[in-house]
Structure 1
């Protein structure tokens, strides 16, 4: 019940938009890579034993395999009667280079586990833990598309993390929903923008930011399509740029930069991947403020820096 089926990653099964055969192949390969990572970790005696199989996945898709592996390990950690240090061990090994994707993978596990087991989920970084909810939001929009995308359902009073702030959980989940909409829309910039623009105005900033991240990390759009998406984002262009910068940081941290990474950050963020990564590092906060989590302070600072850079 807690293992995604391979058939469920097929575009036609999900009912996602078909842009062209190349986009379909890309999205389905992402799903297959995720499940490859999931299976490798679920079947391995230790997290380290899964690493050789994960490293055989092509660099373009390897991050998704590590994401799947983190989901499997988080699920195993949450099951009663056994050890609960698998994700912790994973992040102490090669998984450390894929920390962003690993936290997202923990969010996939959250979506498949009963709430009373969520206390077993390992996400110790107070800054990056919000990526768990990004992963949760992605999962819900990907597998429950009608409710979370077309009916625009929004979680209320979400109980994780236990120390809150609960109001920000909705925003982090929306960032994951926006990321999933790049898949739901089949990497078609116009279709994705149409989906986002149907949401209430106050949610679009996070949705566009998530979609900008996916457009950079997963790919599937050429320069003209990316320019169209940035234009459609309108006043949320800086959030798209921030999401793109996050994606570049995730790829560079893992050593998985592709030609598309540079193309996307150039169009969406007005920067090279190295420059985008530097901005993310420089703007990284040291903690939360009394009013909002450090993660949102970080996102806004990156967006502001890229907005200023664009004006220059």
Structure 2
């Protein structure tokens, strides 16, 4: 069954020049535009063909890109369910049954893209999500708004009064992840952008950057030199984001070289050890309530481990 109630997403959304993104680094631009294009492919393929044909349509993509494609598909599925008010036997449920074991992180993030058309809490209320990873939907909402709504929205968000509410901090992580794309892997430019935010937001933004660096790729030696010069809570948050990327790539059963290099640079350990940080911290928090406070505790436990290695 197709989901053509949704509008198609045009290919120019992945064109950095047309979007007003930074474009000086041609190598990083080509890679990150390809990642964004894979997202659009996943969305449009699910919209056109439904879940039944999705594996046939997406699995031929390069392994590095498939997570982005399933992220886009999750956006389409969650938006479809929300528009049709489907809670049981939903499109998103079918999608998780298809690929949830391989791409749980990316698909929760993708479901959060419904924050473009509804409050980010909408998908949390209506979808059947993992008790811990469901909070990644807020990260997805922050990314989507930063990536698609342009400089005007970004400026308004930056100027908003800071709140230490957990949902607000997780939104910032998605914003930080999007900055890696908008600034086309220019770490110095990202540092300048982050400096304009309230100081309390900096660590959360850097956590998002660390995830993007190690999952999407695009960092060169200059970028790594800049990123690893961070200190204190920002450095530990950057490493926590890298560990999240390690967990996401590890779940898919394919760890590309840029992830292995990025995790080693930003977290100071091999991918396998960074994955262990995420797993052991999840075991600790799973003994309690897996509300957003539990999700934040999960992140902070990983940051505490990371601080001993960076």
TM-score normalised over the length of structure 1: 0.88
Cα distance between partner residues in 2 of 1:95 and 1:263: 26
Query: TM (normalized to structure 2)?
Result: 0.89
Q: 1:106 to 1:4 in 2, by over 3 A?
A: same
1:20 to 25, 29, 34: 25
Instruction: Give, in whole Å, the separation in 2 of the partners of 1:178 and 1:90.
Output: 27
| Partner of residue 195, structure 2 | 197
More divergent stretch after superposition (229-238 vs 177-186):
229-238
Q: Which residue of 1 aligns with 2:216?
A: 218
Q: Which residue, 74, 81, 87 being the options, matches 1:77?
A: 81
Distance (Å, rounded) in 1 between the aligned partners of 2:61 and 2:290: 43
Q: State the partner residue of 1:38.
A: 43
Matches within 5 A, 1:203-282: 203-232=201-230, 235-282=233-280
Distance 1:117 1:177 in 2: 19
Q: Deviations over 1:152-190 (max 9, x none)?
A: 4477899xxxxxxx9211111111001001111110111
CA RMSD in angstroms comes to 2.6
Quote the Cα distance in structure 2 between the aligned partners of 1:3 and 1:309: 45
Structure 2 residue 166 is matched with structure 1 residue 168? yes
Q: Is the 8 A contact 2:46 2:73 kept in 1?
A: yes
Q: Using a 3 Å threshold, how does the CA distance of structure 1 residues 157 and 75 change in structure 2: closer, same or farther? A: farther
Tell me how far 1:214 sits from its aligned partner: 0.4
Q: Answer yes or no: is the 8 Å Cα contact 1:103–1:123 preserved in 2.
A: no
- Judging changes above 3 Å, is the alpha-carbon distance between structure 1 residues 240 and 148 closer, same or farther for their aligned structure 2 residues? farther
The counterpart of 1:49, out of the listed 49, 53, 73, is 53
Greater mean deviation of Cα atoms: 144-153 or 192-201: 144-153
Whole-angstrom distance in 2 between the partners of 1:89 and 1:157: 38
What are the equivalent positions in structure 2 for 1:60-75 lying under 5 Å apart? 60-75=64-79
**Is residue 306 of structure 1 aligned with residue 302 of structure 2?**
no
In the alignment, is residue 127 of structure 1 matched against residue 126 of structure 2?
no
Are residues 1:294 and 2:285 paired? no
Please list every run of at least 4 consecutive aligned residues from structure 1 whose deviation after the TM superposition is greater than 6 angstroms: 114-117, 154-158
Deviation at 1:263, TM superposition (A): 0.7
Find the counterpart in structure 2 of residue 184 from structure 1: 182
Q: Which blocks of at least 5 consecutive residues in structure 1 are unaligned?
A: 159-165
Task: Report the Cα distance in structure 2 between the residues aligned to 1:292 and 1:95, rounded to whole angstroms.
Answer: 21
Distance 1:154 1:130 in 2: 24
Give 1:29 shift: 0.7
1:74 and 1:109 in contact (8 A); partners too: yes
2:106 to 96, 101, 104: 101
Mean alpha-carbon deviation: is it higher for 282-291 or for 129-138? 282-291
Deviations 1:230-270 (A, max 9, x none): 21455410000000000011011012310001110111000
Which consecutive unaligned segments of at least 5 residues does structure 2 have? 1-5
How many residues were matched structurally?
302
Structure 1 residues 45-99: Cα deviation after superposition (integer angstroms, max 9, x where no partner): 4x24211211111111111001011111111212227675111121122232101
Find the counterpart in structure 1 of residue 14 from structure 2. 9
